Amino acid sequence: MDTLETRELKYFLAVAEELHFGRAAERLGMAQPPLSRAIQQLERRLGVRLLERNRRGVCLTGAGEVLLDEGRAALDAITAAARRTRRAGGTDRPGGSRNRLVLAVKAAASHELLQKLLDAYAAEPDAAEIEVLPSGTCEQEEMLRDGRADVALMHTPYNSLTGFDSEELLTEGQIAILPAGHPLAAHKTLSLADISDVPDLPLARWPRHGTYPPGPGPEIRDQTQLAQLIALGRTMAVFPDSARAWLWAEHTAVPLTDAPPIVTHIAWPPHSRSLTLAALIRTATQL
């Protein structure tokens, strides 16, 4: 049989991500023996071995790696369908509007562009309600895939546009955001090498796909935390030039001469047939 049940995918993904039946069972809120039987039954139905089990633990086979990737995408699509259907019916939140789009944006990025877009679209006849959903670095991609968002402002090269339709809206340079009293803040320009290894001012680290990259800099969860740590002289950050809109008096922005340009795109799922979404995209491309 080539069909898979949602329950089976959830079970397999838990084991494939944890690589441990006990932790996977705990994550799923079930006992380990029925989870093991479910995975064995799935392997028999598909006719392939998905996991190798030995004394050292569990590892994925080549077929298991394929199902991990494909299964994640399939579950995201199912979840997205349910979320967008409920949103279209206005049942996803108390008092929810049936004419509403969720726009995912990276917190603090493209502020001026976002404001122009919201104002221009609000002036359109029969404009829908736009709910702005701030996110961390690279979270817009996941929000589009699992249905938490209908459309997103995304930034290359940091975001991947793979699997989405998109239109380019803005290209801008990058800046280093520094404590105003730091010696580097007195420079008119800086290079990436200048800021790559500053012992007293390590670069802030944002999570990417749920994990933080290695490094000595503080782990950042939101923009307010970042702004305060920069003001206190504990870290610095690299942002698109438009981030100047949220700087404090205790911050200084210095252009980076060799950082790649940041291109802001409006992106959406390719299968969307929403006329409301099409109207928002049309407004964005006319800014």
The pLDDT value recorded for residue 201 is 96
Give the helix/strand (H/E) hosting 68.
helix 62-88
Count of beta carbons in the 10 Å neighbourhood of residue 1: 6
- pLDDT tens for 133-169 read 988 777 899 999 999 999 999 999 989 999 999 999 9
Angle at 271 between CA 123 and CA 170, to 5 degrees: 50
- pLDDT tens for 33-61 read 999 999 999 999 999 999 998 877 899 99
Residue type, 60: L
Q: Do residues 161 and 180 make contact, with C-beta atoms less than 8 angstroms apart?
A: no
- pLDDT tens for 87-139 read 888 777 776 667 899 999 987 778 889 999 999 999 999 899 999 998 877 78
- The model carries a pTM of 0.77
- pLDDT tens for 220-257 read 988 889 999 999 999 999 999 999 988 999 999 999 99
Q: Provide the β-strand partners of residue 265.
A: 154, 168
The pLDDT value recorded for residue 86 is 85
